[in-house]
């Protein structure tokens, strides 16, 4: 599954290769130079043109949970490189680089926290980590989080930012689709709510498994939501893609998501969703 970027989305990417933080970033939409600290205050939205800079997992977590409430739950595992994969570079090298850039073991950050006092387990993907692709670590983390939520009866919120399966793990990555879906079925039997937030991008094997099976699915404005990449579709079928293809509103119109919200209102929207699923006195 290709790692892809949608040029039509109003998403602005942080250059993923740089480990050191620069003070200024350039908005790819309007060209404005924005001060990184200012950007944080504006929820990583360009104040001039409204374009979204995508969030790192840590930034997303901070924007969604009550201050200081987040407690990481990760398994602490790193990919075993099950295929000993080498393309132009060894997969091992790519992993180490991504770990250095993101400060994460893999493309997902899992933890517990509260949102307006309501406890939840939050799993947030980081697109900078090899395109947010799902390999054995992402699969294990999501499955463990789902099982934990089922056991402890805490709602699960998954923020998707993924280009699909981790190609470098071959069939091992494909099987994470089955793994995460199996664990999602466990949560369903426990009657615990699952909310998915689809951001830029939500595609490939991630969308074709646990990412499509939430009780409530919220799309962030500017999300790219689709199974196959635009280039693959055009090359395979020769079809011309309609305007707005695979945008959040396309997904809403085609019945794939429940709501589309801006980044500013995502937190409130999650609170609203959790309160109706968790609230109530008669149980």
128-167: contacts with another protein (CB under 8 A) = 136-137, 139-140, 143, 165, 167
The strand pair at 33-35 and 24-26 is best described as antiparallel
Measured CA to CA, the distance from residue 31 to residue 25 in angstroms comes to 9
Query: In angstroms, how far apart are the furthest CA atoms of the chain?
Result: 59
The answer to whether residue 118 forms part of the interface with another protein (CB under 8 A) is: no
Min. distance of Cβ 61 from Zn ion in angstroms?
Answer: 24
User: Could you say which of 56, 199, 246, 247 contacts another protein (CB under 8 A)?
Assistant: 246
Phi, then psi, of 196 in degrees rounded to 5:
-110, 140
Residue 30 interacting partner from Zn ion, another protein, none (CB closer than 5 to 8 Å by kind): Zn ion
Q: Which does 27 bind (CB under 5 to 8 A by kind): another protein, Zn ion, none?
A: Zn ion
> In the range 23-62, which residues lie near another protein by CB under 8 A?
none
Does position 188 interact with another protein (CB under 8 A)? The reply is: yes
Residues from 189 through 218 that contact another protein (CB under 8 A): 191, 193, 203-205, 207-213, 215-216
Residues lying near Zn ion in the complex (CB under 5 A) are found at 27, 29-30, 32, 46, 48-49, 51
CA distance 149 to 108: 17
Residue 20 or 87 with smaller CB distance to another protein: 87
Which range in 9-17, 44-52, 83-91, 113-121 contacts another protein by CB under 8 A?
A: 83-91
Q: How many whole angstroms separate alpha carbon 99 and alpha carbon 115?
A: 28
One of 6, 59, 126, 169 touching another protein (CB under 8 A): 169
Using rule CB under 8 A, residue 82 touches another protein? yes
Selected binder of another protein within 78, 99, 114, 249 (CB under 8 A) = 78
Distance (Å, whole) CA 143 – CA 181: 8
φ, ψ (nearest 5 deg) of residue 22: -90, 155
Q: Give me 2's structure tokens.
A: 């290709």
Report what 243 binds from Zn ion, another protein, none; CB cut-off 5-8 Å by kind.
none
**What is the DSSP-derived secondary structure letter of residue 58?**
H
Angstrom distances, CA of residue 257 to CA of 150, 214, 216, 221? 23, 10, 8, 12
Residue 239 binds: one of another protein, Zn ion, none (C-beta under 5 to 8 A by kind) = another protein
Helices (H), 132-262: 136-152, 170-189, 204-207, 230-237, 248-253
């Amino acid at each position: 599954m290709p790692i892809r970027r949608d040029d039509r989305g109003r998403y602005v990417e942080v250059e993923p290769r740089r480990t050191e933080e620069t003070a200024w970033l350039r908005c790819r939409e309007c060209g404005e130079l924005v001060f990184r600290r200012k950007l944080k205050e504006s929820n990583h939205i360009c104040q001039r043109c409204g374009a979204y800079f995508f969030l790192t997992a840590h930034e997303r977590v901070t924007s969604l949970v009550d201050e200081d409430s987040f407690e990481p739950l990760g398994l602490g595992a790193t990919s075993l490189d099950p295929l000993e994969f080498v393309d132009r570079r060894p997969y091992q090298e790519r992993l180490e680089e991504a770990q250095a850039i993101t400060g994460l073991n893999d493309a997902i950050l899992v933890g517990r926290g509260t949102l307006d006092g309501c406890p939840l387990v939050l799993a947030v993907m980081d697109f900078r980590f090899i395109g947010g692709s799902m390999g054995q670590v992402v699969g294990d983390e999501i499955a463990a989080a789902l099982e934990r939520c089922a056991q402890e009866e805490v709602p699960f919120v998954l923020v998707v930012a993924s280009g699909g399966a981790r190609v470098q793990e071959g069939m091992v990555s494909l099987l994470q689709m089955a793994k995460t879906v199996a664990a999602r079925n466990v949560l369903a039997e426990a009657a615990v709510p699952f909310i998915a937030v689809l951001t830029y991008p939500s595609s490939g094997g991630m969308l074709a498994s646990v990412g499509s099976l939430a009780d409530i699915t919220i799309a962030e404005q500017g999300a790219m939501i689709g199974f196959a990449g635009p280039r693959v579709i055009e090359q395979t079928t020769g079809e011309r893609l309609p305007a707005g293809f695979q945008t959040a509103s396309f997904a809403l119109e085609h019945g794939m998501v429940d709501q589309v919200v801006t980044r500013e209102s995502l937190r409130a929207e999650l609170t609203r969703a959790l309160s109706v699923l968790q609230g109530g006195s008669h149980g």
